[in-house]
Amino acid sequence: MQTIAELQAQMAAIQKQIEEQRAAGKREAISAIKAKMAEFDITVEDLQSRGFSRGFKEKKPSVIKYRKSDSETWVGRGPKPAWVKDVEAAGGKISDYLVQ
């Protein structure tokens, strides 16, 4: 049976091997990343930017276009909510609820 001191020595040796493997893997990863950056002309600034430079825009909240009450609104896109269908079914015009 091994002593605690022997097991701790083994654990220290294994921990050292883990650190060496991690360092080697990190070097390889950095090398591969640098190669890809050179291949595709990627800069550090490109990596730090908040998105792609291909025209992607941040989403902005939709502006309410129609309002019947504070809880009944519609932006005019997508499926019509029930209150709009009810207004139209009753012969009303949705344009009467247009937000100015």
Q: What is the pLDDT of residues 37-70, one digit of tens each?
A: 999 999 988 888 665 556 566 778 889 999 988 8
Closest CA to 97 of 79, 73, 62: 73
- Of the chain, the percentage scoring pLDDT greater than 90 comes to 57
DSSP strand E in the chain: where? 66-67, 73-74
Backbone φ and ψ of 25, nearest 5°: -65, -40
Beta-carbon neighbour count of residue 47 at 10 Å?
9
Q: Are strands 73-74 and 66-67 parallel, antiparallel or unpaired?
A: antiparallel
Closest CA to 99 of 71, 62, 74: 74
pTM score: 0.42
Q: Which helix (H) or strand (E) holds 98?
A: none
